Structure 1
């Protein structure tokens, strides 16, 4: 047994004694202090040659802290600010993504270690994964999102995904600095949010939808109250008056589940100035449309290949709410409720960029919601250029003190 394993065993034994005696809660700070003392003690005991040498005290300290209070072999990826996502397809295949590009790591685990890591991650969330509930979504203490699927839903091994929130952008100006958004488009989006327009953010997986949503929320006037509804906490809006709600899984008896639809309804009773749905996937889209149609400004994200596809998808999802919901109601509701659609793309080189900004004037022609381009990519390039369209509700911009003509200039 090497020195790190011996020190780890000493720390675990001391920690067990303290917890059993009621003198410890196993906090990270306490674990680190115990490890520091155990390393010093081990170093002294190894002087007579009876124990393996402690060659790198700092490395051993990091390894033992990660093993006891962190995420063991995965902790170094949690500590790496460039790692955006970690996933395990099987114990011998651990992947990470940096800058939107995936890579197979050299980390080799075993099935028992994977199960132990998942148990450790779920310990602070109050959620579980077992044969009766083979899927789990949870938010980790650092804000990362955990998703786990176990056999027999998977063929053989546990599938684990940890999506980390490592965005370097908190405001629209940050996106401009990163080259993800042009300065004129950023100014327009900020003015649109301040004016109270309803914004739908679309894009593929890992395209940066939540990051863009957070940046848009930073443009909400500080006196306004924001209520967010999500399956798992991901939104990190820099607001002083914010209440975040997340769904709840059913308990062991199969009761107590709180779906996203329920959260949207409850949020309307909480005096929101802005309603935000982390992602619309199913029937909750109907409740969102009804809320937006009542004059409450809001935002949401949606998976789609383009802004136009996002509008078409939003015209379909509410039909899942029941047979009594028809396109005759949904399509006009979308046209009158959604004002702007901002689409983000993940390029082949891992760069995330805003690809287009569509406006929804509120008209329906032949059962299709009309849209116009406010900003779009130049032909054959990545630069965002002014389109021919104008956003709806110009009077709202005027009330917010924005000269829309000066802001957008002459349409292309």
Structure 2
């Protein structure tokens, strides 16, 4: 047994004898580890035990093993790491700058299972043969997803997605270089005017971060209700209630679906409603809320703004046979005002690809759309030919839509110059 393993064994024995709960008595655990490490170093100096090369590192790893996530904890503490996943105990990957790396971390099957059980303890969610999938939030805010055999072929598949974004306002996205001041001013005014906004993009394109930044423009006196599968938005709005779904229990009852959350949210006197992501029939409830005059925002996976609109017209059809395209398409056209589409480049940089407006008109089953902002051939986000059909709503919120939509050239003359910021790194978006 090497020196570090011997120290860890002694610390575990001390924890057991003193009855310390590592998950709740963190300060007592740290004091115990410091005491055991100092005692070990004294004995090593006397030649009684093998010397430690780095006593501080050995002590920190002991704390991680007992109270943290063991060998995975260092990746959660590393700000450059965006995501951690295990395809097998001996194959642990991390993502940095949008690119995967195979680490040198090796785990045992039982060690990985113990870590997952520890991660799930605080969430109250379960993982067994009856429920082989789990989606949960770690105490630090990271999102955990686990799949076990027989759904996977042999090993547990574990994914931990970190939320490293520091963007709480669209101005933060401007600073990161993912959005221009012109487009940011337009989006802030659109939120304050109460427009209904969809945020679309691929996985890891930054959709949650964009919704969080847009929510920063919601007037302080408004009540916000959020509905999510797992808490991710973490809004800082003063009057905000966050709700998440719940899986069924062992008897198969007690499930709280996203559709149920949306319906309950409508009974909570909301001024705004945010849905973390629509994937299925809850899209119908979102449309009904939007169409009832409740300003709402949501995210969904899509490859373009146009495809996002097509998808939001398709998902409500999953709600039942009595829901038809003849109802959904015109409802989408009249309810959804803007689509903000995000792009994840091959280098891992996130940026706003386009901001499109819906005119409210439908021609031959196709909803008319126009680009308010779009990327030109040089990759710059520039003013497009489109405009939202809601000038009076901007006016009520104290904004002049025509002024907001002046061309980039005019905008540069009417606003202070802004030095270009570097492109947003992938670790700055979630």
Q: TM-score range by the shorter chain?
A: over 0.9
TM-score (ref. length: structure 2): 0.92
Provide the secondary structure at the position in 2 that maps to 1:362.
Answer: strand
Contact kept in structure 1, 2:382 and 2:408, CA below 8 Å: no
Partner Cα separation in structure 2 for residue 141 and residue 26 of structure 1: 12
1:159-238 correspondence runs (5 A): 159-238=157-236
1:84-129 deviation per Cα after TM superposition (whole angstroms, max 9, x unaligned): 1111111121111112121111112221121111111111111111
Contact kept in structure 2, 1:8 and 1:68, CA below 8 Å: no
1:189-245 deviation per Cα after TM superposition (whole angstroms, max 9, x unaligned): 011001110110000000000011110001111111110000011112221111110
Partner Cα separation in structure 1 for residue 74 and residue 22 of structure 2: 26
Find 1:49's aligned residue among 38, 44, 47: 47
Q: Return closer, same or farther for 1:411/1:318 CA change in 2, 3 Å cut-off.
A: farther
1:306 matched to 2:311: no
Partner Cα separation in structure 1 for residue 241 and residue 176 of structure 2: 29
Residue 115 of structure 2 is matched in structure 1 by: 117
Find 1:388's aligned residue among 373, 379, 385: 385
Q: Return closer, same or farther for 1:3/1:317 CA change in 2, 3 Å cut-off.
A: same
Partner Cα separation in structure 2 for residue 18 and residue 25 of structure 1: 14
Partner Cα separation in structure 2 for residue 29 and residue 51 of structure 1: 27
1:258-273 correspondence runs (5 A): 258-273=256-271
Choose between structure 1 and 2 for higher RCO, CA contacts under 8 A separated by at least 6 residues: 2
1:13-412 correspondence runs (5 A): 13-19=13-19, 26-379=24-377, 381-410=378-407
Contact kept in structure 1, 2:22 and 2:66, CA below 8 Å: no
Give the deviation of 1:25 after TM superposition: 6.3
1:285-334 deviation per Cα after TM superposition (whole angstroms, max 9, x unaligned): 00111111100001000000001000000000000000000001111111
1:13-56 deviation per Cα after TM superposition (whole angstroms, max 9, x unaligned): 33334448xx8863322222221111112222333322111221
Provide the secondary structure at the position in 2 that maps to 1:67.
Answer: helix
Structure 2, unpaired ranges of 5+: 410-430
Partner Cα separation in structure 2 for residue 9 and residue 314 of structure 1: 56
Give the deviation of 1:10 after TM superposition: 2.6
**Larger mean Cα displacement after TM superposition, 273-282 or 364-373:** 364-373
Contact kept in structure 1, 2:87 and 2:155, CA below 8 Å: yes
